[in-house]
Amino acid sequence: MEVPASVRQRSAQLREQLDWHNYRYYALDDPQITDAEYDRLLRELQDLEREYPDLVTPDSPTQRVGTTPLGSFIQVRHDLPMLSLDNAFTDQEIHDFDRRVREQLDATAAIQYAAEPKLDGLAVSLRYEDGLLVRGATRGDGSVGEDITHNVRTIPSVPLRLQGGDYPRLLEVRGEVFMPKRGFAELNAQALQRGEKLFANPRNAAAGSLRQLDSRITASRPLEIFCYAVGQVEDGELPDLHSAILARLKTWGLRVCSELNVVNGAAGCLEYYRAMLDRRDGLPYEIDGVVYKVDRLEQQRSLGFVARAPRWAIAHKFPAQEVLTQVLAIQVQVGRTGALTPVARLEPVSVGGVTVTNATLHNADEIRRKDVRVGDTVFVRRAGDVIPEVVKVLLESRPIDAQAFVMPERCPVCGSQVIRPEGEAVSRCVGGLICSAQRKEAIRHFASRRALDIEGLGDKLVDQLVEQELIHDPADLYHLDVKTLAKLERMGEKSAAKLAQALDRSRSTTLARFLYALGVRGVGEATAQTLAAHFGTLKALMAADEERLQKIPDIGPVVAAQIHAFFAEAHNQEVIERLQQAGIRWPDSEPQAQGIGQLPLAQKTFVLTGTLTSMSRDQAKARLQSLGAKVSGSVSAKTSYVVAGSDPGSKRDKARELGVPVLSEAEWLELLAGAEKTSGPA
């Protein structure tokens, strides 16, 4: 299909704009547009390239999604070897390094060093020809690495084309691919949820992600890069200072670490080292030391190399983050959401300068996978401010009487039943209303706006009430009086009276709100609405077994098991009874004459955007749910309608792009009225 000139011009313009905004975002850390606007431009280019495949170029910003899996990696020989660095661990070793440099250069003045963090990732080489990325390779053994071009192309901070026009015809850039702490934590949280093996640390996660034969997997991982040197350069000139070269790389769109600094002599190096060690935990990425390089290239050439390392650079390593110690016991902690987490009690050991006595074992599957037992000698890792974790067991040191761990059947805090829903890796206490480990979270949720909506009962007030043991469960809230509340910090008579009034107002509610307020795992607002409509009364719901619960649309075996376990727990039954005795009430209704799946708006998904004049957002949501509809917060191809009030946001635009019908408030009210006429009693 012939591409119209106007379309070709627009696609080129979009590529240029997206490249520029990538440069502002990654290289300069100074974005000029919002993420939403960037996504809009990218979608426009994707649409054009989908309609006119001839428009696709190798450097298009759309070409980062990954391609068909490879059969194997191809080996790549580095024209200039990627050398390793010698390591130093003490201040004296840095003084000795500086002395050797000065002696070999016959220098009397202090040497200037470029100092930067030593990233804990994977070293790579990026080869650009005429500004276009043509190859990415791993360091390998320094002389031969693996071709990972298909994978590095998926990393957003790796430019597919260089900015400007003053770059060399051939430019090889060396950098470190790493996984930020936040991305690593999210990746492991997702793996934990799926019951998959966890990555031991961000470096392993980055290395494993880069060595995927399927680049679509790499594209899904949160990888980033910092460039720290150049290799082969042809037909172009670079500055004569290492620090100035990195500044030049930045102008070409290559990402450089902002922590780079130029220091004087050994004293300047050590001052930088201590500053980075102090800031280590607060950085968004892992570092395991700092690197010092003689800044002047002429001096680097004079110093030369020894064996496989340069004489002009050295890595100053931080104290170890992984050490060996012994597991003295395995105990279980209960989190604020009821999750049971096994914790290893350790022989005290210093890890990264901090004494560690406990380490997380995540869940029973992880303990089984790593085969951790009481008495084992284990490797423990502490990464920044993350809770220390047991990485692996030294099996050859296992004692004969090492004890295997068994997850308790009853909560160690409150004695309630512990369940592990099918398909989940985490075991949970079902005593959400009475378990002291979950108390604050349960009460906050109970009082939240979409639950019982107790205005004025904020987080700090809940903390005070629990910590002073004035309340032990949600039912205790309704026994608080103005005199007691007024004694709390930052309250006083007036605020206490307002809170007492809010508590009194909350006694009148709906069954759906009450069910949501109980905090049953898996029961959100929509599910609570479905349960209330289906059963009509709390008594009928509490009497339902798992088989009956599973017959309700959108309630599967996992949620059914959680609902049944919650209402079967005697402790929870007691609190519910006390809540009703305290005056919590709602109008009961007849069980839904129609199944929820037969309601007029069943199988329909609505998205609300903008401000409605006829009712609040919560009221609109409840009205839709009472007719069987789902209400979502985001627009997708599966959305049935988007309801646009005044000042609608980007959701309306996305709906139009996807061809989803957009209703005005008047049109929506008309649709509701028609649906309610055909609906049975609710």
CA separation for the pair 580, 573 (Å, rounded): 11
Whether 522 and 628 share a structural domain: no
Residue type present at position 599: L
Name the residue with tokens 């004049």: 613
CATH number where 277 lies: 3.30.470.30
More confident residue, 7 or 570: 570
Sign of CA dihedral 547, 552, 554, 559: negative
The reported pLDDT for the residue numbered 393 is: 92
The tens digit of pLDDT for each residue in 22-31 reads 777 666 667 7
CA separation for the pair 119, 135 (Å, rounded): 22
| Assigned domain for 76 exists | no
| Residue 343: strand pairing partners | 331, 360
For 545, other C-beta atoms within 10 Å of its C-beta total 10
50-54, 88-92, 314-318: which has the minimum mean pLDDT? 50-54
| Side-chain-facing half-sphere of 545: CA atoms under 13 Å | 1
Report yes or no: 227 and 255 within 8 Å, Cβ to Cβ: yes
Given 566, 591, 616, the domain boundary residue is 591
Task: For residue 413, give the DSSP letter.
Answer: T
Q: Which two tokens stand for residue 403?
A: 């004890």
CATH number where 610 lies: 3.40.50.10190
Mean pLDDT, residues 545-568: 86
Which domain covers residue 12, as residue numbers? 5-55
Grouping H, G, I as helix, E, B as strand and the rest as coil, residue 319 is coil
The pLDDT of residue 374 is above 90 = yes
Residue type present at position 55: L
The pLDDT of residue 403 is above 70 = yes
Per-residue pLDDT band at 418 (split at 50, 70, 90): very high
The reported pLDDT for the residue numbered 3 is: 79
Q: Which two tokens stand for residue 463?
A: 């903390």
Whether 228 and 282 share a structural domain: yes
Range list of β-strands (E), 554-622: 605-609
Per-residue pLDDT band at 478 (split at 50, 70, 90): very high
| Assigned domain for 643 exists | yes
Among candidates 437, 444, 445, which has minimal Cα distance to 418? 437
CATH number where 374 lies: 2.40.50.140
Range 94-99, long-range pairs (CB < 8 A, 24+ positions): 94/266, 94/269, 94/270, 94/273, 94/292, 94/314, 94/316, 95/266, 97/266, 97/292, 97/314, 98/265, 98/266, 98/269, 99/266
Report yes or no: 535 and 544 within 8 Å, Cβ to Cβ: yes
Per-residue pLDDT band at 681 (split at 50, 70, 90): very low
The pLDDT of residue 173 is above 90 = yes
Residue type present at position 2: E
Out of 118, 370, 621, 630, the active site residue is: 118
- Determine what percent of the chain is predicted with pLDDT higher than 90: 38
The pLDDT of residue 168 is above 90 = yes
| Assigned domain for 403 exists | no
Range 316-340 burial, b when 16+ CB lie within 10 A, else e? bbbeebbbebbbeebebebeebbbb
Active site residue 539: no
Full DSSP string of 386-412: SPPEEEEE-GGG--TTPBPP---SB-T
| Assigned domain for 69 exists | no
Mean pLDDT, residues 643-653: 86
Per-residue pLDDT band at 65 (split at 50, 70, 90): low
Whether 521 and 430 share a structural domain: yes
The reported pLDDT for the residue numbered 305 is: 85
Report yes or no: 358 and 388 within 8 Å, Cβ to Cβ: yes
| Assigned domain for 70 exists | no
Among candidates 590, 585, 599, 449, which has minimal Cα distance to 511? 585
| Assigned domain for 74 exists | no
The pLDDT of residue 408 is above 90 = yes
354-363, 394-403, 407-416: which has the minimum mean pLDDT? 354-363
The tens digit of pLDDT for each residue in 310-356 reads 999 999 988 767 788 999 999 998 887 788 989 999 999 877 667 88
The pLDDT of residue 584 is above 60 = yes
Grouping H, G, I as helix, E, B as strand and the rest as coil, residue 650 is helix
Given 294, 317, 340, the domain boundary residue is 317
Among candidates 473, 484, 517, 482, which has minimal Cα distance to 501? 482
Mean pLDDT, residues 491-507: 91
Per-residue pLDDT band at 593 (split at 50, 70, 90): very low
Mean pLDDT, residues 245-250: 94
Whether 501 and 429 share a structural domain: yes
Residue 643 makes CB contacts below 8 A (sequence gap 6+) with 606, 607, 608, 609, 612, 620, 662, 663, 665, 668
The reported pLDDT for the residue numbered 94 is: 95
Mean pLDDT, residues 452-458: 90
Residue 285 makes CB contacts below 8 A (sequence gap 6+) with 119, 120, 178, 179, 180, 181, 202, 224
Please classify residue 41 by burial: count the beta carbons closer than 10 Å to its beta carbon, then call 0-12 exposed, 13-18 middle and 19+ buried: middle
Q: Which two tokens stand for residue 50?
A: 């989908």
CATH number where 28 lies: 1.10.287.610
Given 377, 397, 417, the domain boundary residue is 397
Whether 393 and 427 share a structural domain: no
The pLDDT of residue 61 is above 80 = no
Whether 131 and 234 share a structural domain: yes
Which helix H or strand E contains 77, and what residues bound it?
strand 75-77
Mean pLDDT, residues 506-530: 88
Name the residue with tokens 């009693």: 681
The reported pLDDT for the residue numbered 25 is: 67
Rounded to the nearest angstrom, the gap between the alpha carbon of residue 391 and the centroid of all alpha carbons in its chain is 21
Whether 308 and 239 share a structural domain: yes
The pLDDT of residue 130 is above 50 = yes
| Assigned domain for 402 exists | no
Per-residue pLDDT band at 682 (split at 50, 70, 90): very low
The pLDDT of residue 112 is above 90 = yes
91-100, 235-244, 380-389, 611-620: which has the minimum mean pLDDT? 380-389
The reported pLDDT for the residue numbered 272 is: 96
Name the residue with tokens 């080869």: 127
Residue type present at position 150: H
89-103, 316-330, 564-578: which has the minimum mean pLDDT? 316-330
- Determine what percent of the chain is predicted with pLDDT higher than 70: 93
The reported pLDDT for the residue numbered 404 is: 92
Whether 481 and 586 share a structural domain: yes
The reported pLDDT for the residue numbered 649 is: 79
CA separation for the pair 574, 568 (Å, rounded): 11
CA separation for the pair 379, 344 (Å, rounded): 12
165-174, 235-244, 386-395, 470-479: which has the minimum mean pLDDT? 386-395
| Assigned domain for 65 exists | no
Whether 587 and 666 share a structural domain: no
Whether 305 and 167 share a structural domain: yes
Mean pLDDT of the chain: 86
Mean pLDDT, residues 233-250: 94
Whether 467 and 570 share a structural domain: yes
Whether 45 and 108 share a structural domain: no
Q: Which two tokens stand for residue 295?
A: 């800044």
Number of domains in the chain: 5
